[in-house]
Structures are given as structure tokens and as C-alpha cells.
Structure 1
Amino acid sequence: MSEGVEWAMHSCVNLSWLPDEAVTAKRLAAFYDLPTAYLNKQLQALTRAGILSSVSGPKGGFQLARDPRKITLLDIVIAIDGADDAFRCTQILKAGPGGNPRANYRNICVVSQTMRAAELNYRRELAGQTIADIAARVEAQAPRVPDDTRTRFAELRS
């Protein structure tokens, strides 16, 4: 998983605390001292996926395009890293001792079955967690974080 996924998730959580404000890529990057150009690529991917909207003009920037309760962590992973499975069975058993060139080892290989099951659990877990869930957990652990985040972004504006 690329580091862009982490950056995108944190950016979305922060934007959930700034619902009435568009935030530039530069300010979002400055918040964590990230390279603006690279973060902007992640933000553009989130925009193409309908997770963020991009606002033009002097008060432009990015904001959540949907309710944070409707943005899953899986949505973000797919937007940044794509929808392909992490494990790709290339059916190497066909070339191994006793291999059957006509067999579909993706379906009968224990390694492939195990990895597909793990991928399904991983995706199910990510699909069951939203940006709102993450924000609520942060707030439960550290109630000042949303206000501190808003204050920090206000300071970054000046």
C-alpha cells in the first residue's frame, strides 16, 4: 500500500472537521510537512473518485464531496492504489513438478485460496470503516483534536 493512502486518509479526516471550507493542497501538505506536488496527486485521485471536490478561485481548494459517513477507507484505498487485488496468482504450479497445464490453479491452489480469503477480509474491514468512524475515534481519544486542527489550518492560511 502506498504512503499516499495514509496521506489521503488523514487529509479526509481533517477535511471532515472543516466542512464549510475548501483547503488548498499547499495547506493540507503543510499541516504534515508533506511534498505539495505529491499530495496534490493523491487529492486529484480522490477528486476523480468523487471523494473530494475541487473548488476553483481565490477561496478554492479541496473539500469532501460526500458525507464522511459515506466515505469508506476502501473507497480511499481504491482511489489511490487502484482496485486490483494485492495478491496476484500467476499459477506457477502449472510449471512445477506434476503441474497440470490445463488446471486453473487460481481456484485450486491453497496459497491462492488463502490469499484471496485474506484479501476479502481486508477489503471487508476497510469497507466497514468510514472517515466519520475514524474522526469519531480520534475525538473520543483526544477531544481537542478537531478544534486544534481547525486552529492550525486557520494559522496556515496566514
Structure 2
Amino acid sequence: MKLGEGVEAAIHCAAMLAGVEGNSTMAASAMAEAFGLSPSYLLKHLNMLSAARILESVSGPAGGYRLARPAERISLLDIVLAVEGREPAFRCGEIRRNGPVTFDASAYVKPCGINAAMLKAERAYRAALAEAKLSDIVATYAAEGDPRSLAASCAFVERHQRPQKSSSTKQA
């Protein structure tokens, strides 16, 4: 299974936003700079996260993005589904019914064993992602990450967060 590159960008941005203080925001352009991404590419994924109510988009001169709920209430599954969609990675096309030797529908009453195995794996994968909380990812990085990288990340967030004067917000 291969996830799109946008998943990595979305998780990193959400983790970065977990470090933004209070109701402050961070501009998409700052996050794009932090990860060496095209701002337009990143904006597409940030908008997906906003639509899924993982991020909140704040308009105005000091606007930007922030987490829409606490990091402990955001799972990696939430982020993956926001970016990749809810469809399972494997989609059975029932190709067992194709080919030169075909039978009527009565020969295919039992579910396809390959489809059943793939969907079982998908459920396990999604369950593992649902258990992984954004807050745990951030805490592990804070505890085990290289101190230089951690200091640089914290300094970047501090330098680029935009304090908000009021709590009025607008969803993107």
C-alpha cells in the first residue's frame, strides 16, 4: 500500500501546529517553507484538513491555520482519511469472474478470499492508525528527537506563529 506524499506533509503540518500557542495561527507559506514544499501544493492538503475539521482556517492579515481540536483528539487515521479519502486501499474488481472460463453467479456465492484477506488487513491498518494520536507523535519527538532539530523546530514555530486578538474564526 502506498499513501500519497500529501499524507506526510499533512501529518508534519498538524504536528507543527500542535506547538502553536493558544489560539495563535501559522501561515501556510511558513509551513511550506519549513518543509520545503510548494505553497500551492501544501494549501490543497491544509484545506482538506480544514474540511475534515482537523484544522481551523482563520482569515485576515494575521490569519493562518491552527488545530481545530486538541492534539490528543486527532489520530493519524483522521489525517490519512482527510487526505486520501475513506475508500479502502484495495478494491476488489471481481476479476475471478473474467477470463475464458466463466460461470453464472451461483458459482460465486462465497465472498472472494483475496478480498476478505485484504479488507482484514485494511481494518488492522486503520485500527493501528486510529490508536496513534498526534499528541503522542509530538511527545515522542520532544522526548527522543535530536535536541538540535527540536530546538530549531520550536524556534521556527515561535517565530512564525501569529497571535490572534479575538477568537472569531472562519472555516475555509
Identify whether the pair has TM-score above 0.5, normalized to the shorter chain. Answer: yes
1:74 to 73, 77, 88: 77
Aligned residue-pair number: 157
Name whichever structure is richer in helix by fraction.
1
Q: Which runs of 5+ in 1 are unaligned?
A: none
Partners of 1:15 and 1:141 lie apart in 2 by: 19
Counterpart mapping for 1:60-99 below 5 A: 60-96=63-99, 99=102
Higher RCO (Cα < 8 Å, 6 or more apart): 2
TM-score, structure 2 as length reference: 0.82
2:129 aligned with 1:153: no
Q: How far apart in 2 are the matches of 1:104 and 1:19?
A: 61
Output the CA distance in 1 between the equivalents of 2:110 and 2:42.
Answer: 38
**C-alpha separation in 2, matches of 1:56 and 1:29:** 18
What is the CA distance between 1:96 and its match in structure 2?
4.1
Q: Distance in 2 between the 1:79 and 1:71 partners?
A: 11
Q: Report Cα offsets for 1:132-155 as digits up to 9, x if no partner.
A: 011111112127455532312344
Q: Which runs of 4+ in 1 moved over 6 A?
A: none
Percent of residue pairs identical: 36
Give the Cα–Cα distance (whole angstroms) in 1 for the partners of residues 110 and 56 of structure 2: 40
Counterpart residue number, 1:43: 46
1:138 to 1:37, Cα distance in 2 relative to 1, 3 A: same
Evaluate the alpha carbon distance shift between residue 33 and residue 114 of structure 1 in structure 2; reply closer, same or farther with a 3 A threshold.
Answer: same
Per-residue deviation, 1:19: 3.2
Q: Note closer, same or farther for the CA distance 1:29–1:106 as it changes in structure 2 (3 Å cut).
A: farther
